[in-house]
Amino acid sequence: MSKPIRKAVMPVAGLGTRVLPGAKTVAKELLNVVDRPIIAYAVAEARAAGIEHIVMVTGRGKQALEDYFDHHIELEAQLAAKGKTELLAEILADLPKAGEMSFVRQMRPLGLGHAVWCARDLIGDEPFAVILPDMLMAAERPALAQAVDAYDKVGGNIIVVEPVAEEDTHRYGVVALEGGRENYAGRGAPTRMQAMVEKPAQGTAPSNLIVSGRYILQPEIFDLLSAQEAGAGGEVQLTDSMVKLMATQDFHALEYDGVTYDCGDKIGLLRANVAFALMRPDLGAEARSAVEALLRA
Ligand code: UTP
Per residue of the chain (297 residues), give pLDDT as tens: 789 999 999 999 998 899 999 888 889 999 999 999 999 999 999 999 999 999 999 998 889 999 999 999 999 999 999 999 999 999 999 999 999 999 999 999 999 999 999 999 999 999 999 999 999 999 999 999 999 999 999 999 999 999 999 999 998 899 999 988 888 888 999 999 999 998 888 889 999 999 999 999 999 999 999 988 888 888 889 999 999 999 999 999 999 999 999 999 999 999 999 999 999 999 999 999 999 999 998
Answer yes or no: pTM beyond 0.75: yes
Q: In terms of C-beta density within 10 A (0-12 exposed, 13-18 middle, 19 or more buried), how is residue 294 classed?
A: exposed
Q: What is the pLDDT of residue 80?
A: 97
Spatial distance between the Cα atoms of 285 and 3, rounded to a whole number of angstroms: 45
Coil/strand/helix, residue 239: helix
* pLDDT of 229: 85
Helices (H), the chain: 38-48, 63-68, 73-81, 85-93, 112-117, 120-123, 143-154, 221-226, 238-245, 266-279, 284-296
Distance from residue 20's CA to the centre of ligand 1 (Å): 13
Amino acid letter at 37?
Answer: P
Residue 139 Cα to ligand 1 midpoint, Å, equals 23
Please state, in angstroms and rounded to a whole number, the distance separating the CA atoms of residues 46 and 213: 13
- Domains belonging to the chain, first-starting first, are 7-296 (3.90.550.10)
For ligand 1, residues with CB inside 6 Å are 11-18, 57, 106, 109-112, 114-115, 132-134, 264
Interval between CA 150 and ligand 1 midpoint (Å): 26
Tally of CB atoms within 10 A around 236? 20
